[in-house]
Structure 1
């Protein structure tokens, strides 16, 4: 804990700003019921009302309080994006480490299967699968996690192949340690810095990917609050000079910039460079 506090004190202002932006979003997501003045689906007034003391950001296309929808949208979008990212890392790291450690025909088999999946544009592939299996939240999580794990596989395999030839790994093999023991105790701890940084980047990609799917109508389905879906639901307001859809778009940009500022700092720490 002391070491962590010391590292945080040495963080540049860009990283501190990023942590503040992420913290604000997390607090809103965790305490959504206490912060939001109205319910997630509650009709609170007329359609597309302007900002006032009752509705801080106005209302949406159905008369729901936009500020409350943004708060609940943070909870829904962030929680699902985090779960998808975590699952993609479990899948990607497991297969990547296994391919690098075992090698041979297993490495070739897994790598070629990943190449086939990555040959398809991710968004088109996801749209095709979701249009067949449906747009339920479990289907959305599994489909995106599997597609995103291909990118994690590539990184984890490359990192594991560099570590796998080290002397301490060879020593573990000579001691008779099994593959899973070597992966857990030798490769994983030494591969953590680049994987932690990649987790932040992949979270951003997944977060934006969910927003894109929701904007296209195949992400989180109404009446669930979702920032990408909120942009789509209120897109027509722009025609009348009402900037309601810009608020969820700004929220997406706010969180993305914050996470990237923190990830840039983590990458700097992992690189071992000194000012």
Structure 2
């Protein structure tokens, strides 16, 4: 009976998610301009569901002060209160409202992940495109440096650097951005190397195009599709890295609400069969799946393949 009940709940969740994705896609088709509506009309339900989830997370992050019933750091009750009354998801180990902490966690965890990914992408893509275009000693020097950094396991490297330089938000962003920029560098360099040998690049060089214009006007537009897809995937890795570091105590520091640290702080409840610590973990997993759905759709469209 328990198995049947679980299967029924799963089927209901899947059906509800599909209905929500279909309704959201229909609304976008009706509201967007003709060109964008045509693109959305062909979007799979998985991509529509991903867009809905991402939109909900953005709204929660931007309007956290209006949505959350209690302040982020306020102690509003006893420890580990059950799901009832004013605290719909109970309270945590210090008596703070879990629902409010989850909402503010969207702003902190996702916001820092977006900033970190943007910095990693800016650093990695600029150096990768520059290395492929200039070549020679610059390409060899940057490539060997990246090889050395990538030879060290990313999580261990991040733990080491954060232990040395401290665990402030700025340090966290810089450390993870530098580590993940090596992966972006490899992709940008590989894509650009296939572009710089094309005839139109040679023609641009013969016209006397300078290096910045050559990269920005000729190479970057043709490398944009894989780089945009990589941005989504890289965001997932950065997001998970920040959550893992926070769970280990070297990421976003208390009392700031963060999903990784919330799992650690309330892990005791799992012993008693309480699923409250799994809520921030579920929020992490849901956003990761949603972003991957959208990235898969973007990669499919960029590939030019038909259904």
**Is TM (by shorter chain) over 0.5?**
yes
CA RMSD of aligned residues (A): 0.9
Alignment match, 1:159: 191
Match of 2:240 among 186, 193, 208: 208
2:68 and 2:38 map into 1 onto residues whose CA distance is 35
> Does the alignment pair 1:116 with 2:148?
yes
> Does the alignment pair 1:230 with 2:262?
yes
Conservation of the 8 A alpha-carbon contact between 1:48 and 1:244: no
1:267 and 1:58 map into 2 onto residues whose CA distance is 41
Match of 2:168 among 136, 148, 155: 136
Match of 1:168 among 179, 191, 200: 200
Alignment match, 2:227: 195
Conservation of the 8 A alpha-carbon contact between 1:235 and 1:245: yes
> Does the alignment pair 1:271 with 2:307?
no
Secondary structure at 2:286 match in 1: helix
Alignment match, 2:290: 258
1:144 and 1:71 map into 2 onto residues whose CA distance is 24
Q: Which has the higher contact order (CA 8 A, sep 6+)?
A: 1
2:67 and 2:99 map into 1 onto residues whose CA distance is 10
Alignment match, 1:16: 48
Deviations 1:92-149 (A, max 9, x none): 0111001100111111110000000000000000000000000000000001000000
Alignment match, 1:249: 281
2:55 and 2:214 map into 1 onto residues whose CA distance is 36
1:196 and 1:56 map into 2 onto residues whose CA distance is 38
Alignment match, 2:65: 33
CA drift of 1:243 comes to: 2.0
| Structure 1 residue runs without a partner (length 5+) | none
Alignment of structure 1 residues 78-93 onto 2, 5 Å: 78-93=110-125
1:122 and 1:106 map into 2 onto residues whose CA distance is 24
